[in-house]
A and B are shown apart, each in its own frame.
Chain A
Amino acid sequence: MKRLVHRLGWPGTIALAIILLFVLVAILAPWIAPYPTQGAGAPNVAAKLSQPSANYWLGTDHLGRDILSRIIYGTRISLTNGVLIVAFSLLIGLPVGLAAGYFGGWVDEALMRGTDVFLAFPALLLAVLMAAALGPGFLNSIIAVAVTWWPWYARLARAEVLVLRGQPYVEAARLAGVSHQRIIIRHILPATGRPLTVQAALDVGPALLTAAALSFLGLGVLPPTADWGQMVDAGRKFFPARWWYSAMPGMTIFIIALAFSVLGDALRERKGGPARDAA
């Protein structure tokens, strides 16, 4: 614990704890939600739009469902969203960046100009276009955001590789006749790990926000699956008289996005540990 606080600082540790708490909530949703069936979508019309009370800690929505349970169930969607978007982006961006940086020349040109095409569009606009073209749905919204996100990873990875390529140990490996594949995987990839982890941690928050924005626009998961962005949108027309409907999921998005952002910063500035050879 002390070691962790030393390396991440207090804010980073708290942020990490909050994130872990959300992960736990997501895993345990059916057991800890006060009204699991409502969390999963079953209506409860008799209690619609009740204000926060002992029965419904955070109030109920327009179909009478407990907002706390909905938020708890929504954690599954939102966290998975954030993590999967970053994972997909890494999956596309990293190989492109590695190849472009390592081989240079026409490979670099071709890959980077392709990347530029995606960067030329405003990111959210492209995501909305993609989501509209693919149709609403959980996986579609993830793909839509990842498509706009990967070029940043490609650029970052390429920049790292350009530096590493000239390092004596890489030169040595190449002279020793090690194959390109092996050099990239064994000698370069591990060294790009740290900047990319920092970037990824910083990005989960914004990724989650973008996914929330998409489902706010009606392009995310299908009802009645709980999703924070969709809850904010649905509650908007009852604001401010029934503030809890939009405000509660809105606060939740705020907290988790902030936590990821703080953790990312903490990772970047983390003390101790070697600088580049994190692996």
Chain B
Amino acid sequence: MNRRNFLKTAALAALATAATSRLNFAMAQGTGSIFTLAYPTSFPDLDPATSFSNDGAVLANVYESLTRYIPATEQAEAKIEPLLASAWEVSTDGKTWTFTLRDGVKFHDGTPLTSEAVKGSIERTKKIGGGASFIWGPVTSIETPEPLKVVFVLSEPQPLDLIASAGFAAWIYAPSSHDKDSAWFNAGNDAGTGAFKISRYEPGQRAVLDRAEGYWGKVPEGAFQTVSFEIVEDTTLAQNMIESGQADWTYSLPYENLEALKSNPDLNVVVNPSFETLFGLFNVKRAPLDKIKVRQALSLAFPYDDVIAAGTSGFGTRAKGVVPAGIWGHDAEAPIPKTDLEAAKALLAEEGIQPGLELVMTYSSAQALEAVAGELWKANLETLGITLTLQPMAWEAQWQLGKSNPEAAQDIFVMFWWPTFVTPYDYLFNLFHSEEKPNFNLGYYSNPEVDAKIDEAAKLSGTNRARAEALFIEAQRKVIEDAAAVFMLDQPNVHIIRTDIKGYTDNPAYGHVTLVNELSR
């Protein structure tokens, strides 16, 4: 009995071909006024208060927040657009924010959008305290002087216009749902103001949205009546669906297949920077990585271009330090190192590092790109007489080890980072601000000068964004100068969409969200 089980499992492993969920797309259609998304992951939580995962793709079409972030492009600077709020202002101390709500907006249950609804939504989100609700942490009270005017009082200066544009926990929902629990939302009910309402939800299979009556926003001609999210975990199947027209949109296909897809006239391969950036945090508490020159040498030995070529088929981009392109505070001129093994060798010699040094790099076993980066880096380091041990771990275990004791932890901690809402503070504070107990600063970097700049910039980001940006950039330069981490690459955002779809733009501030209202065929 044991042997048969082993054989079964192992045969699975040995053959391990894809083709599992072929039954999944019984209802996938690609024509008429249905927009079909082949989505690679399921939607674990449809409660707008606690959702903090891929569910955002569905909820962003159903709910709206007060503001929306539009990232910088080559032509235009980043900006914050009015959404449910039509205008807002901030007091000079940066602690009182007044939002004027858009008139004539109705929730899907027919009730109008009011300041009470905004207050009730945010208070429910804060009270449940799940997901990304921490973004409202600085808010001490919400006042509703007029039906269309809502005032936030903060405990410290914070950029609330940015916070209100967050991809999670910033949604406003109808008062009738404020006393409902998560189960009610997860049964497929919704209470949003968005262009679509949830009409059918089959967990793990699909979510189907239908157009809501009387949407306040502009609806383009030929807009879609129905949105169908088909959950297709198998990338081969997803590729089949998009090629055959059974799906209109998908992502997460292997980079290696994209060249072929690009030459298909029916498909548009949309490549944008994402806000996901890959780091290797050096353990500055442990010899010999406590020496700047050793860390610089390791950074110089990293094969930046090879990892982009091999790991992302050339679609990725060099990380310019901490904050990726498209976010304010990005430093396009950052003095990042180039791969230079000779210079690395010289630096190691200066510090008297003998061949035979052994370092341990931990990374998440679920991230193939991290493994590629590790293997190529290891090959380079070998030529310098350094042995890099690649230690793949379950993310939880990797994180626990990192948080435990810096003296006994890894030498290099590799992870992706992306922000909850679009601010350089999220990257710099979490990864490089001194921490008494390590949480995400898993290189244990601590520099009072950098701390001061980050803190000051955070205070100014609500009132004087230009000055704040300058300070964030100064802090980043210092972090790069200290070689606190190796900045491996910025992950590309690649979405595939049928060419007959009009009006598509990707917004990396909202990971893998497609706002279907703006699209037409």
Contact = CB atoms under 8 A, between A and B. Distances in A.
A62 B390 contact: no
A123 B6 contact: yes
Interface stretch (A68-76, A156-164, A231-239): A231-239
B10 A209 contact: yes
A246 B17 contact: yes
B7 interface: yes
Interface string A9-20: 000000000000
B15 A250 contact: yes
Interface string A41-63: 11101001100000000000011
A144 B376 CA distance: 29
A222 B379 contact: no
Given A63-B375, A210-B6, A241-B257, 9 more contacts: A212-B13, A212-B14, A213-B12, A218-B392, A229-B13, A238-B254, A239-B236, A250-B14, A250-B15
Contacts of A41: 375, 378-379
A114 interface: no
A117 to B, nearest CB: 15
Interface string B165-177: 0000000000000
Contacts, number: 117
B16 A246 contact: yes
Interface of B: 2-3, 5-7, 9-18, 235-236, 254, 256-257, 260, 306, 309-310, 365, 368, 371-372, 374-376, 378-379, 389-394, 397
Nearest to B401: A135
B518 to A, nearest CB: 32
A224 interface: yes
A136 B372 CA distance: 18
B3 A206 contact: yes
A209 B257 contact: no
A202 B393 CA distance: 33
A138 interface: no
B9 A213 contact: yes
Nearest to A216: B13
Given A206-B7, A206-B10, A237-B368, A224 B18 contact: no
Closest 10 pairs (CB-CB, A-B): A209-B10, A218-B365, A216-B13, A213-B13, A45-B310, A253-B14, A206-B6, A250-B14, A213-B10, A123-B2
Contacts of B376: 43, 45, 63
B254 A223 contact: no
Interface of A: 41-43, 45, 48-49, 62-64, 122-124, 132, 135-136, 152, 202-203, 206, 209-210, 212-213, 216, 218, 222-224, 229, 232-234, 236-242, 246, 250, 253-254, 257
Contact of A224 (B10, B254, B260, B390): B390
A279 B257 CA distance: 60
Nearest to B3: A206
A253 B393 CA distance: 25
Contacts of B256: 49, 62, 238, 241-242
A63 B373 CA distance: 10
Contacts of A124: 5-6, 9
A242 B9 CA distance: 23
B392 A216 contact: no
A232 B14 contact: yes
Contacts of B379: 41-43
Nearest to B391: A222
Contact of A62 (B18, B372, B374, B392): B372
Contacts of B372: 62-63
A237 B10 CA distance: 18
A240 B14 contact: no
Nearest to B376: A43
Contacts of B394: 132
B198 to A, nearest CB: 31
B5 A135 contact: no
B472 to A, nearest CB: 35
Contacts of A240: 17-18, 236
22 contacts: A45-B310, A62-B256, A64-B310, A123-B2, A123-B6, A124-B5, A124-B9, A135-B391, A135-B393, A136-B392, A206-B3, A210-B10, A212-B13, A213-B10, A222-B389, A222-B390, A223-B375, A233-B13, A236-B17, A239-B17, A241-B257, A250-B16
